[in-house]
Amino acid sequence: MPRSELEIERLSKSGEGVAHLGGRAVFVFGALPGERVMAEVAEVGKVLRGELVEVVSPSPERRVPPCPLASTCGGCPWMHLEEGAQLRAKEEIVRSTLSHLGGVDLEQLVIHPSFASPKAIGYRRRATLHPVQGRLGFFGRRTHERVVVDVCPALTAPLQHLPGLLSDSLGTAIKDIEEVRVLECESQLSISVHLKGPLRPKVTDAIEPLIREQLISGAIIVPGENKGAPVLMGAPILDDRPVFHRPDAFAQANREVNEALVAACLEALQLSGARQSVLELYSGNGNLTFALAAEAKQVTAIESSALSVQLAQKAAARLGASNIRFVQSDAEKSADGLVREGARFDRLLLDPPRAGAPKVGTWASRLLVSRVVYVACDPASLARDAASLRAQGFRAESLQLFDLFPQTNHIEAVMAFSR
């Protein structure tokens, strides 16, 4: 198709501007609502996509990105949009998806004010770096091509210069590396280096000075598949009370907003004074578990990652939390097993991956829980699973959004359902 002038109507959940041409939706990356743009439109698969050529009439909410790499690096795709407008767009995406895809009556839902990140930039405490041109960097915008990054302002202050520092230190060892994950907790830094093949001495030789000079607390070297066990150097486990973190395990990227999210989950479960039993699915390293255990009678926490469960058990032992039962297992298989056994719980809390938990309605009904709190990172999965719960007699009660990822289209939601 030829170059076309388009009027951008809204932002899609994937972060693209949406226009219409000949009765069909066109998705234009980098375009904002209210703008008129020139774009090269082409059919990609079953959809029309526009390559932004010129912004004819810019939105008043468009700005010059505060990072010089914003036009090439894929880490912050909404950096050209003011933060207040970013959050409003995310709110509209979640509400529209819940209404149209999940059949949720928003008029009957208590929608709490969204929790904005105290830091719009400099908030990310973890990142994954990839080799590129003999150095380290991130994936580019809408591509798997890579961009060299020496300094990243989106990372927390202690991490911002680490990409370049690691590139300098690793030197020729970078060619043996698949990726490097970096993590910061309370100004302590740790890395995990994931190799393409077996561990060679030049990798440990490159990392040792970083530990010796206290630029990082420790490192975990992970050889390629079937090429050996991980090797720990220094002190790579970081303490973020009440949980422990390792760079090769999952951690929420925005510490301040995560604290608010944990508190909101606890409030939504309505445990105070009830001393009830809670089933927690996809429990990770205990991000939500220990707050639950402080108020619940018993918590059964199910997580598939052996490493995450080990970290959670280590933290529980330090706390003396004897009312938590950790189960290392696939959450879906375990929940199905609990249903077959006739198990009963008062509350269900789950924080599933982006694909969601399609069987959540059946689990909640068969386990006889009276209240479900669902933490979601994908609006479409949340909407679909909300419909599953509604079909089993649960009412969508409340919703609150948490902006863990400013400068991106991602948003976390906490939604409560009652029988």
Write out pLDDT tens, residues 283-306: 999 999 999 999 999 999 999 999
At 275 the pLDDT is 79
Token pair for 106:
């928003």
Q: Is 120 helix (H, G, I), strand (E, B) or coil?
A: coil
| Confidence label for 273 from pLDDT (cuts 50, 70 and 90) | confident
Q: Which of 174, 180, 192, 193 is nearest to 134 (CA)?
A: 174
Region 248-257: mean pLDDT is: 96
At 367 the pLDDT is 98
At 13 the pLDDT is 86
Q: Which domains does the chain have, with CATH numbers?
A: 3-62 (2.40.50.140), 86-118+254-418 (3.40.50.150), 126-245 (2.40.50.1070)
67 labelled catalytic? no
At 1 the pLDDT is 62
- pLDDT higher than threshold 90 for residue 142: no
- pLDDT higher than threshold 80 for residue 272: no
Q: Which of 251, 252, 298 is nearest to 279 (CA)?
A: 298
Percent of the chain exceeding pLDDT 70 equals: 100
Alpha helices in 240-326 (DSSP H): 255-269, 289-293, 306-319
Region 154-183: mean pLDDT is: 97
| Confidence label for 190 from pLDDT (cuts 50, 70 and 90) | very high
User: How is residue 175 annotated by DSSP?
Assistant: G
Handedness of CA 373, 374, 379, 381 (dihedral sign): negative
Region 64-75: mean pLDDT is: 93
Alpha helices in 71-200 (DSSP H): 83-100, 162-170
Set 67, 152, 185, 377: catalytic member? 377
pTM reported for the whole predicted model: 0.94
Region 415-419: mean pLDDT is: 97
At 4 the pLDDT is 93
Region 185-206: mean pLDDT is: 96
Lowest-pLDDT range of 14-18, 96-100, 263-267, 407-411 = 14-18
Residue 30: left (phi > 0), alpha (psi -120 to 50), or beta?
Answer: left
Residue 379's φ and ψ, nearest 5 degrees, are: -60, -40
| Confidence label for 266 from pLDDT (cuts 50, 70 and 90) | very high
**For the chain, how far is it from start to end, CA to CA, in angstroms?**
52
| Confidence label for 141 from pLDDT (cuts 50, 70 and 90) | confident
